[in-house]
């Protein structure tokens, strides 16, 4: 239901007679942005009224809490222009509140995820929610997956310290592995966001044992063949490294210098460099291989594992490892 479809009355309402909606999906309001909006009010006035509904002797905000908060910062302001919508129930008010906030830069990922989940609780389905807000079904489902994050990690996501893609990959992990990946992330162990997400994917593969390293015992002949393959692969990588150094040196030359240097064979050498560029796909595979190798070396206590009874003075290795991870996470945060 839109605001225009409701019974509407516009008037100036005292700020003290308006209260925020406790079910407002957005919980975080940037103080700097509020002050900027207040400055706008001081300069040109309120350009757009907020939307409220009757709530006993007061009014409850349906849309526009940010403007209401900013007006409190304007010296001498006592009232705010508001549209009074009289035929909006709790559910419609909640949906309208979400509609106003979805897509705003200052609405956190976790607020958005919770808003979608609350709508599901009201009986909406992911496809319907997606159509309501101009999103895809996958987008809505992926956002709600973030609610699988542990509380401390969810706080880091809400604060913007962990970005959306990595957060989603974290949400697919057990709580213990979430902490492992985030501890490394906060320490700066990953060069790029892609590296962080790839590592989280590798941890997920390890949890599910999907396409991971074979654990079978190799025969003597198989070990020799594997050793030979490794030497050959290392030799190829060494050649790539030398080629990279040469290409860096060539990149320092101007087009004129290159034309003079490769007179008559520029096209031939260009084709060779293009082949190297196209082979860069190998870097993506190596990045994934690195993540898989690092994940394989980790030993993390499985979720819900029952610890054997031990004396309190002698904690188990698993308990010590978990305590260390938690301490690292708190320090990094």
Give, to the nearest 10 degrees, the angle between helix 266-278 and helix 220-251: 130
Point out the catalytic residue in the list 19, 31, 35, 65.
65
**Dist CA 153 CA 140 (whole Å):** 20
Give dist(CA 110, CA 13) in Å, integer.
Answer: 32
Return d(Cα 3, Cα 1) in angstroms, integer: 7
Asked whether 15 and 50 are in contact (CB, 8 A), the reply is: no
Q: Is 65 a catalytic residue?
A: yes
| Cβ atoms of 298 and 183 closer than 8 Å | no
Question: 121: number of CA atoms within 13 Å, CB side?
Answer: 10
At 303, phi and psi to the nearest 5?
-60, 135
d(CA 197, CA 165): 7
Q: Angle formed by the axes of helices 151-158 and 175-187, to 10°?
A: 40
- Active-site residues, by number, are 65
């Amino acid at each position: 239901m839109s605001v225009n479809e409701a019974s509407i009355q516009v008037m100036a309402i005292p700020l003290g007679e308006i209260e925020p909606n406790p079910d407002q999906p957005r919980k975080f309001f940037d103080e700097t942005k509020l002050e900027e909006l207040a400055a706008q009010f001081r300069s040109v006035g309120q350009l757009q009224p907020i939307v409220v509904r009757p709530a006993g002797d007061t009014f409850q905000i349906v849309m526009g809490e940010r403007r209401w908060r900013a007006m409190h910062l304007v010296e001498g302001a006592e009232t705010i222009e508001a549209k009074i919508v009289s035929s909006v129930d709790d559910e419609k008010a909640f949906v309208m509140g979400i509609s106003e906030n979805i897509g705003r830069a200052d609405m956190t990922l976790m607020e958005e995820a919770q808003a979608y989940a609350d709508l599901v609780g009201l009986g909406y389905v992911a496809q319907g929610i997606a159509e309501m807000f101009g999103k895809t079904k996958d987008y809505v489902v992926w956002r709600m997956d973030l609610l699988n994050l542990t509380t401390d990690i969810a706080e880091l996501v809400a604060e913007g310290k962990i970005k959306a893609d990595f957060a989603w990959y974290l949400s697919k992990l057990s709580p213990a592995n979430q902490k492992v990946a985030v501890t490394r992330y906060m320490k700066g162990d990953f060069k790029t966001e892609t590296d962080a997400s790839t590592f989280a994917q590798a941890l997920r593969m390890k949890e599910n044992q999907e396409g991971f390293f074979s654990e079978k015992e190799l025969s003597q002949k198989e070990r020799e063949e594997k050793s030979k393959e490794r030497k050959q692969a290392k030799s190829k990588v060494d050649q790539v490294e030398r080629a990279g150094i040469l290409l860096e040196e060539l990149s320092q030359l101007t087009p004129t210098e290159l034309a003079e240097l490769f007179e008559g064979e520029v096209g031939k050498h260009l084709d060779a460099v293009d082949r190297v560029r196209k082979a860069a796909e190998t870097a993506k595979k190596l990045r994934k291989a690195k993540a898989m190798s690092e994940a394989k070396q980790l030993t993390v206590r499985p979720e819900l594992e029952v610890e054997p009874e031990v004396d309190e003075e002698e904690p188990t290795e698993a308990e010590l490892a978990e305590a260390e991870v938690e301490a690292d996470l708190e320090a990094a945060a």
